[in-house]
Structure 1
Amino acid sequence: MSTNSFAFKDSQTQERFNEWRRPSRLKQISAISILTASLYLIFAYVTKSFIPADILPLATLVHVYLVPSILIVIALLAYFKIRYLLMTFLLIIAPIVAATGNMLIVSEFEGYTTYQTELYLIIFWVFTVSGLKFIHALLSGLLIYISATISAYLIYPMNTEAFVLHSFWMIAALSFGILSGYLLESSQKTIFLKKEELEKIAITDRLTGLYNRVMFDKVVKDELEKFKRYKRTFGLMILDIDFFKDVNDSYGHLVGDDVLLEFTKIIKRYTRSSDTVIRWGGEEFIIISLEVDKDGLITLAEHIRKKVEEHNFKTVGKKTVSIGLTLNKESDDINSILQRTDQALYISKNSGRNSTNFLY
């Protein structure tokens, strides 16, 4: 899985990263847009007394009306998910507008060097605090750099000394900005992958790689909520390997682990991708089967039972499995549906094992 600063190679991972990062990005974008708009207004107020009178209307247009207005709109759009693309577009455009305004202002009078520092700050702002994704920040930053270089060389030419210094500080600002943006996004992706790894460890059985009890509560709770809204039933199945204790006692726990791994492969081979398979503990497993009726659930259980019966396990030979089944109903909670499935399993184990029983 790639962690380059542009995108994960796995599109699903990229989408999960985007969703994970989005709430904090929106807060950042909203806050920094309001702060930057405020600073522009303060800057306009501070400089109005000594900026040349013939340039004041242009400076006022840029620093009071144009740039702050765009930034305030961006801050408001950050609260509306349906306007996310528009907000991103304006966030890319806003620094370009600010930079263009700065270039127009400094071209109008000779004492421009003090005001030109705004241009370098804009580039650094794009990469470090704007909240733009790195690829979008790179697009905005490069457009500013190219247009500023063309402007300083062709449209409003500077003398050689000024152009060389200006070019150096532009390259410096762009370089620092790109490096900062790259490192920031890379570190966020590293944090995200570590978070996903820890979450996976928390919900995964170490031996079999199946989900554990933590995931059971989440999935059943979600499916019970969906049933209330959409009336989609789901099935619960508990599978218990018969006489598994004899395996551990006779062959040792390492062989017992091998049996559990082989059993896991059988279950995974014959369940659907929409089914959730859980190691409940010891030799007990649970399958949560979505959008299934009684006949379909029994057919699945019997298929697995027969495949286990037919399988020749390494070292221990033949083994069988007892299975308890149920479907959810209107009055169910997590405990009631689990208890009913467990009762069905109890019937299977006490009626000779290697059997399937359904309770509703």
Structure 2
Amino acid sequence: MSTDFDTWFFNNRLPQIRYMMLFTAPLYILYGFVEYRMELHMPELRVFFHALFVPSMLIVILGMTYIPSFIPIMKALLFISPICAVFGNLYLNVGTEAFDYFVPEIYLNIIWTIAMSGLSLRLGIIVVLFNIVITMMFHYYQEFPHPYMYLYCLWMLSSAIFGLVTAIIFRQVNYSIFTHQQKLAKVEDTDSLTHLWNRNAMQRFFHKSYQSQHLPISVMMVDLDYFKQVNDKFGHIVGDSLLVEFAQLLQENLRRSDYVGRFGGEEFCVVMPNTQVTQAQTVAESLLAIIHHHNFNHVEHLTASFGIAQMLPAESFEGVLSRADQALYSAKNDGRNNVKVFVSNASAYA
């Protein structure tokens, strides 16, 4: 599965992690004080470990879910916590008559680790395998090993299988939701005729490019000349096929770093990250020549007009788009089939 899904899946599990920490912490506090009242050996250590140390760690993890920069540390604590809990259980109870009463915590810990803790499947399985190994070691190095040690290990393995099946099904269900959302987003962002991005998608890409790179961005508006006459003469079916053909021509002849979308009718927009206006003008003039020499179906020849503007500091997408649009109208008023560049705020064109 993709890294995009893994990121989406983890972000969607953050509320689950918070609730798990929120409810597990008081359960451990209660656990510690119940142990204390049972008059077992090392009561102070039990209270410290189960009623203070483990709950504190869980609350810290809960707090870190709200701070993105602490997420790597949070994941490390999620890895360490179940190991500490099992180690504490074994250290306090192996070799005592009360051990059988505390074994269920280990089984619950295993299911919790794989299915509910928020760890990835790989890390969850590593933690569980580690806990099974240290459980066997604790028993093996006892002077009188517990006669049911292997039965305990079998139940631990069964708990791991139950947790693993639950986690896999949960992950698959979420993957189905993720892919469905991706398809819906693609439909929402795509022009139904040309399958180019629409205006909303271009706007998001523009802001993403600016925020992530802070490099110069140019915007190019492209309009097919006299396209209404094509529709009137040949009909809208032919007109639609020409728009699809023109969209493919733009895609094939733009740079890999450029992104083209359809804004409606015969108007197209190209967002050009890391591009000065002079570079954008060179690209537009190259496209102008390619369009002029291209043999289109039904009509053979079409021309297009281009308007270009470069983003000003802190300018919105609508702002630079408006200036590129003004340059486009200047190109159309100047006889069409040419390129105009908005060079200043004073409505000057080059």
TM-score by length of 2: 0.85
Q: Is the 8 A contact 2:217 2:272 kept in 1?
A: yes
Which shows bigger deviation, 348-357 or 281-290? Answer: 348-357
The match for 1:318 is 301
Q: CA deviation at 1:147?
A: 2.8
For 2:120 and 2:315, how far apart are their aligned partners in 1?
45
For 2:204 and 2:272, how far apart are their aligned partners in 1?
14
For 1:249 and 1:325, how far apart are their aligned partners in 2?
29
Q: Is the 8 A contact 2:30 2:51 kept in 1?
A: no
Q: CA deviation at 1:95?
A: 0.8
For 2:316 and 2:89, how far apart are their aligned partners in 1?
64
Give the alignment of 1:160-309 within 5 angstroms: 162-163=148-149, 165-220=151-206, 232-309=215-292
Which of these residues, 129, 154, 162, is aligned with residue 142 of structure 1?
129
For 1:104 and 1:220, how far apart are their aligned partners in 2?
58
Aligned with 1:208: secondary structure? coil
TM-score by length of 1: 0.83
Which of these residues, 67, 78, 83, is aligned with residue 96 of structure 1?
83
Gaps of at least 5 residues in structure 2 are: 344-350
For 2:203 and 2:146, how far apart are their aligned partners in 1?
69
For 2:132 and 2:236, how far apart are their aligned partners in 1?
66
Which of these residues, 312, 321, 337, is aligned with residue 354 of structure 1?
337
For 2:288 and 2:159, how far apart are their aligned partners in 1?
67
Q: CA deviation at 1:114?
A: 1.9
Q: CA deviation at 1:80?
A: 3.8
Q: CA deviation at 1:288?
A: 1.9
Taking every aligned residue pair, what percent have the same amino acid on both sides?
31
For 1:130 and 1:260, how far apart are their aligned partners in 2?
52
For 1:310 and 1:142, how far apart are their aligned partners in 2?
67
Amino acid at match of 2:333: N
Aligned with 1:354: secondary structure? coil
Go from structure 1 to structure 2 and tell me whether the alpha carbon gap of 1:330 and 1:76 turns closer, same or farther (over 3 Å shift). closer
Q: Is the 8 A contact 2:331 2:338 kept in 1?
A: yes
For 1:333 and 1:76, how far apart are their aligned partners in 2?
36
For 2:263 and 2:67, how far apart are their aligned partners in 1?
42
Q: Is the 8 A contact 1:241 1:284 kept in 2?
A: yes
Which of these residues, 17, 34, 39, is aligned with residue 46 of structure 1?
34
Go from structure 1 to structure 2 and tell me whether the alpha carbon gap of 1:129 and 1:333 turns closer, same or farther (over 3 Å shift). closer
Q: Is the 8 A contact 1:55 1:108 kept in 2?
A: no
Amino acid at match of 2:238: V
Which shows bigger deviation, 195-204 or 257-266? Answer: 257-266
Gaps of at least 5 residues in structure 1 are: 9-13
Aligned with 1:303: secondary structure? helix
For 2:311 and 2:157, how far apart are their aligned partners in 1?
65
